[in-house]
Chains A and B, each alone.
Chain A
């Protein structure tokens, strides 16, 4: 228990320490927020240029008709997966280490999926017609094609965003009520509104705990399905490098791997900025690293299997595609993916690395880079080397691609930082559940 709830041992201290994070922000936090807003404004400016001049700015040309935007879409959907894994799946498995970090990861999920949801809309070019994706008939009374994985994706992502947001909001209610009871003035009124009349009565807890359990049970298969559906956007096509039965588990493992990487990137500075070092401890980082090691090892296997199957299939197009990934004009992207994901994750076999926060932060950056490149390699390099060698090309991102990519990090970071200052970023109620209440005789 001491490792799980380090130093903070009483219920009152838990409330005090978490509610203290909602106070006036420090200089470090303001700098991070200013950086995020600047990046977002650059992205917003780029988007205005795209609206004005069209997707030609993003370098779309046959055969690569989607590259950075859809790469970044898959990247952000993937980031979201670790949040639901930690908040829902580990909740069902009763893993105590999730408690201190799950709120931050759940918020990360919601904002990552929100960010991801922007990309198909940016990609379609005429953004004002995005509602054509919804299941209603067109002017000839034709309905959407439900055999297409792209329409599955619309349903999967919107369900994922709705359920993740619901799960986050439901989990927040008792903690917002705890914050309400510590606040005064207008802030108390605001928290009162978001506490939805929560008082912590036996009736409220009775229905709440069951509802939370069922939400976790529904979110668990959902998290596995969403990235499977995303993988089928590619695997259902016959493009060399895409048409693999391994894609669903491969994408899910990659998503969790990238998500845990992002959790590390966010939590290491955040715990310092919000003075939560005694609550998010070495114990939590150690477990996060073990999860990274597991999913990184699955990715290692998947990469090896992709190359093996390409060779073993005897299909020339598959073989050439994978040869060009490793030794073609964008070999550096292929090796960035393999080194950052398959090899860097293996460093977590060493406990010294798992408990060294500087090393962890650096490794998490490599994971983020590696996982973005994984999607770039799968999507762009496969399209660039399809069945017609005369059409082969080397996709090169343009300034409009980089602008929107940077803007997406700003958009995500901005929401995450604002959340961390506005709502309890550590689950007060669940931590209290793990701390035994005092007894008359003085024991616990």
Chain B
């Protein structure tokens, strides 16, 4: 089944300050539903959008703690499950098990970071949003969802900010 297109206005910018002006104007109108495309992360765009820290760090933290607990838990439990007494040494010594705790902390921490990134990014789906290949090259793109009767005002705003190309996607 073909993806249903979201109606709106797609603008392309060459200049970074033009794009940030457009973002500021859209936010000034109370809009938060637009999408900005760029080929690389850019601090000026982030500032204009008021982007805050990603909660992906929580996935890293909980993944790391889970991995660390699993590493120690696995080794201690397996040692105690069939105790091997060698020369009066402890059955479940902690220092050698730090290696397993550490390795699993990194492993589960890294995998949950990626899982968190995918989960969080997927919450803002790009399905149906207009896009142009030049946005992964040297242009900044802004897509503003707008019905046909609102499109004129949005086109005007984006042109005024300095967009080099603006088109209405029905």
Contacts and interface: CB of A to CB of B under 8 A. Distances in A.
Interface of A: 10-12, 15, 135, 137, 141-147, 152, 155-156, 158-159, 162-163, 166-167, 170, 174, 177-178, 180-182, 197, 199-211, 214-215, 218-219, 221-222, 225, 229, 428-430, 432-433, 436-440
6 contacts: A12-B137, A181-B133, A207-B121, A214-B109, A221-B106, A439-B15
Nearest to A12: B138
Contacts of B116: 207, 211
B26 interface: no
Contacts, number: 184
A200 B38 contact: yes
Given A155-B100, A170-B114, A205-B38, A197 B56 contact: no
Contacts of B74: 135
A135 B78 contact: yes
A-B CB proximity, top 7 nearest: A181-B133, A11-B138, A211-B117, A203-B124, A143-B78, A437-B16, A210-B54
B52 to A, nearest CB: 8
Interface residues of B, number: 62
A10 B78 CA distance: 58
Interface of B: 14-18, 35-42, 45-46, 49, 51, 53-54, 56-57, 60, 64, 74-75, 78-79, 81-82, 84, 93, 96-97, 99-100, 102-104, 106-107, 109-111, 113-114, 116-117, 120-121, 123-124, 126, 129, 131, 133-138, 140, 162
Question: Which secondary structure dominates where chain A touches chain B?
Answer: helix
A15 B56 contact: no
Contact of B110 (A142, A145, A152, A163): A163
A232 B75 CA distance: 18
A429 B36 contact: no
B103 A156 contact: yes
Contacts of B121: 203-204, 207-208
Contacts of B117: 170, 207-208, 210-211
Contacts of B14: 438
B124 to A, nearest CB: 4
A429 B39 contact: yes
